[in-house]
Amino acid sequence: MTISDHASLTHAVAWQVLAKPDGRDAIDHVDFFVDGKRLWQEQVPPYVFNDDHEVLPPWLLGNGKHVLTARVVTAYHPKTEVVARVNINVDVSANKAIAGTYERVVTKANQNRVMPYRVPSKGAFGEVSPAGKWTIVIKPNGEISGTDPKGKSDGTFVVPYTLSGSSMRLYGAAFWREPIDKYGGNKFCDPDPTSDYTWQLSGSSLTIRNVQKQCADRDLVLVGTWNRVA
């Protein structure tokens, strides 16, 4: 397992199980548990928590001691477990500055703005994120949850973030934090990369600007000026 026992987690890390079956045995799936609760399951290699190329944002588990368990289930053996007892220490106090509920109307012009880099080589897939009023909740624990213009749970996304001064870093979607029980849930790109942004708060207006052009659909939705409503 890529997270070792007694590790101190202070930043986002990949949590992967490097499992190989013995002889004619075959791996059926790998379950990922935190403090005894199953948060993720992978059925095909690579066995990575929260989907391929993604990371574990430890601040979302809360500071302090936690037990991470990976359970490998094979065809001929009930299970094999690997345990890592970790300590999480991440300062999220800066997040209070922008915590709140915000709304923004995404327009056709916003869609056109990102089209030059909305390409498969940068993870673009499917239909472009829709125009209309989006709502996001920036939580002080280090995640942004958002709802598309339809306002339904299957259009909800959860994106972990960190702040450093006026800099914001967004990570790939935290599928395990989404309100619906499905794996490989809502994401803007595939893979969903870590990207850097800046933020500026003026009264009730929060402006987010992208530093890189990595994930077009995420930039389409999140980059712009948001109005705080709660």
Q: What pLDDT was estimated at residue 183? A: 45
Q: 111: which 2 tokens?
A: 């869609």
pLDDT for position 179? 66
Question: Coil, helix or strand for 177?
Answer: helix
Can you give the pLDDT at residue 180?
Answer: 52
Question: Peptide bond before 46: cis, by omega within 30 degrees of 0?
Answer: yes
pLDDT in tens, 190-228: 999 999 999 999 999 999 999 999 999 999 999 999 999
Residue with tokens 């289930």: 73
Mean pLDDT of 103-127: 96
CB-CB neighbours of 35 under 10 Å: 12
Q: What is the pLDDT of residue 21?
A: 78
Q: Within 13 A of 188's CA, how many CA atoms are on the CB side?
A: 29
Can you list the domains of the chain with their CATH numbers? 8-88 (2.60.40.10), 93-228 (2.40.128)
Token reading at 168? 């914001």
Q: Radius of gyration of the chain from Cα atoms?
A: 19
> Tokens at residue 34, please?
């935190």
pLDDT at 153: 55
Could you say which DSSP state residue 50 is in?
T
Predicted TM-score (pTM) of the model is 0.91
The whole-number pLDDT of residue 150 equals 83
* Cβ contact 197:208 at 8 Å: yes
Cβ(3)–Cβ(84) under 8 Å? yes
**What is the pLDDT at residue 19?**
82
Helix (H) or strand (E) holding 217: helix 216-222
Q: Say which DSSP state 176 is in.
A: G
- Among the listed residues 35, 31, 43, the one whose alpha carbon sits nearest the alpha carbon of residue 64: 35
DSSP 8-state assignment for residue 27: E
pLDDT beyond 60 at 182: no
Whether 151 shows a pLDDT value over 90: the answer reads no
Residue located via tokens 């609760």: 37
Count Cβ atoms within 10 A of the Cβ of residue 79 and give its class: 0-12 exposed, 13-18 middle, 19 or more buried: exposed
Mean pLDDT, the chain, whole residue set = 92
- Nearest by Cα to 3 from 72, 76, 56: 56
Q: What is the mean pLDDT of residues 61-76?
A: 95
| C-alpha span between 58 and 222 (Å, rounded) | 23
Does the structure show a pLDDT above 60 at 181?
no
Between 52-61, 152-161, 199-208, the lowest mean confidence (pLDDT) is in: 152-161
Give the mean model confidence (pLDDT) for residues 139-167: 89
